[in-house]
Structure 1
């Protein structure tokens, strides 16, 4: 290895493998394809998760892919939204659905087959529908559902490959029949799928541990180990801090990263893409432990320096920071630069504020 391996180096390496630092990906399609899936819980902030990793940082890039169906926003992996390339969605859902659907079954009230039929019949009429429109159809059929129950039922239908995202309508998520939006997607047998998932995850997130991958994909450690073994020479490893880290053999850790600062949602793959080794982002041990309360984060040189709250106004976007430790001029400069990039992406003037309480 050309540099000393420690937690900070691993964090910098992840910035590079995730394209958060130069060299960036050419466009949004590459960002979704590279790590296999990008968490997309919040459409506005997840658009920046994609845009911040591309050379052009153009919101229209991802928007065009979602409209055409080349990229889909759907439930897969952990029971949450992800952007996934249409070419990958079938095999990925087939692989992860058995375990993910158990989480829905535990939260869904039983006996919703009739409600599911109403939803599928409504979508079969041909027009993509948003959630309020689908809720209205259930009301008309005498089968009303609460907002949470409807969301869970739609997510379960996604995991059955019956429903998937339609073209966004004025920025609002819609649903459509799976087979109307997914054409020519690959199907892989289970062994091929485990190997493909392991290779793509490690390439787009490495260095990472097998427990990081098990968390990310909602798979058992047994399946993760099978996938890592099946990927063979496409994955290399090293030992550090009592853990085995996997990485792509053609990648290496950078001595420094540019740009140094990043303003990201807490759901960003740089944070949420790991669990076992997530806190290589906090080598100083400055981040409070316990329940997460922040909705955003400020990173400098791959380290968490502050929580961040984003507020979008008519002509400006305000990033309010609560530092975790001492706030240095270098931190301030890096965060100001990150805010300028984020503001340019949104077409708004950036303002950085500090919470002094």
Structure 2
């Protein structure tokens, strides 16, 4: 096992790979590909996530990607909505199916789904949603004609898990995001799913989030049994260890900046992947603050770590709720970044 990497060293590597040290001169699509997806439960979150990472980003660029079907909003890692490129959607979605199937067997709807032929429900729902994109609950109401003893919300939830469903525009647009209307990924892109190899998945993950443990990759992806994939890749990877002695894997040529590298204030949207992509999240947020993330509050990074939350008022003023006491110079830097975001939104 290699050199020990401090928490600050892991922080700076993550900040660098997540394009948060300096705003990049890249397209939105290239950035979405590099980040291997952006959390998108909240429709406007990806716009803030791209603004905080890119020079001169404008919402129209992402809207155009959604309308032209180069990027899609779809249920992926950890059973949550992500914004990904069309090709990544086709390659990643098959890997989530086992977890989503398990959720139907043990989740909140499991008892009410018992005895139901879920494959038959999925095929009937596929025809409905491909013929006329609509909400899953609406499709569930139509399925009641065939399964009248069930609840439409339960049938709709089965479709959510069994089918690869895309939330189509105007859902996810900046100025006029509508309700979640869905059709299948295959119908939307006119292509079949083609699972990327697990080796490719791990390499892409390390590029965006490494150095990482096997458990980190499993936490991000929702997949299990990745140890064998890391072992297969071991000859082409480099290894380190955490201060607690856990083995970290990484790509040999990936950036690992000096732990003292200065980083600017950054405002992150709700559920940003930088806060969710590791089993041990202390490289960016301490354990006693995870409730902030789970609660879906946008966060403020100072010197690479979460120190506050932020919100936008109806008057479009940005307010900051500090968790830590900060010197005035740091608070001034936070205020200046808030002003930049307010001006951009305006």
Question: Is the TM value for this pair above 0.5?
Answer: yes
Deviation string 1:82-137 (CA, Å, 9 cap, x unpaired) is 12221122332222311332023322331275765664333232x43245754665
Deviation string 1:213-246 (CA, Å, 9 cap, x unpaired) is 01111122x3x12222344565322112112222
User: Paired residue for 2:199?
Assistant: 195
Deviation string 1:196-224 (CA, Å, 9 cap, x unpaired) is 1100000011122211101111122x3x1
User: Paired residue for 2:307?
Assistant: 305
The gaps in structure 1 that reach 5 residues or longer are 348-357
Aligned-partner SS, 1:10: helix
Cα–Cα, structure 1 residues 290 and 66, in superposed 2: closer, same or farther, change >3 Å? closer
User: Paired residue for 1:167?
Assistant: 169
Distance in 2 between residues matched to 1:267 and 1:243, nearest whole Å: 26
Distance in 2 between residues matched to 1:232 and 1:35, nearest whole Å: 23
Aligned-partner SS, 1:327: coil
Distance in 2 between residues matched to 1:344 and 1:116, nearest whole Å: 46
After superposition, where does 1:36-115 map in structure 2 within 5 Å? 36-107=36-107, 108=109, 109-110=112-113, 111=116, 113=118
After superposition, where does 1:1-357 map in structure 2 within 5 Å? 5-22=5-22, 24=24, 26-107=26-107, 108=109, 109-110=112-113, 111=116, 113=118, 116=122, 119-125=125-131, 127-130=132-135, 133-134=138-139, 137=142, 144-146=151-153, 149=154, 152-158=157-163, 161=164, 163-168=165-170, 170-172=176-178, 173-184=180-191, 187-188=194-195, 193-220=197-224, 222=225, 224-232=226-234, 235-241=237-243, 242-255=245-258, 260-275=264-279, 277-282=280-285, 287-288=288-289, 292-293=294-295, 295-306=297-308, 308-313=309-314, 315-321=315-321, 323-347=322-346
Higher strand share: 1
User: Paired residue for 1:352?
Assistant: none
Superposition CA RMSD, Å = 3.1
Deviation at 1:252, TM superposition (A): 2.5
Cα–Cα, structure 1 residues 213 and 166, in superposed 2: closer, same or farther, change >3 Å? same
TM-score, length-scaled by structure 2:
0.82
Deviation at 1:269, TM superposition (A): 1.0
Deviation at 1:15, TM superposition (A): 0.9
Equivalent pairs, count:
328
Bigger drift between 78-87 and 112-121 goes to 112-121
Aligned-partner SS, 2:230: helix
TM-score, length-scaled by structure 1:
0.79
Bigger drift between 210-219 and 37-46 goes to 37-46
Deviation at 1:179, TM superposition (A): 1.9
Report which structure shows greater RCO (CA 8 Å, sep ≥6): 2
User: Paired residue for 1:354?
Assistant: none
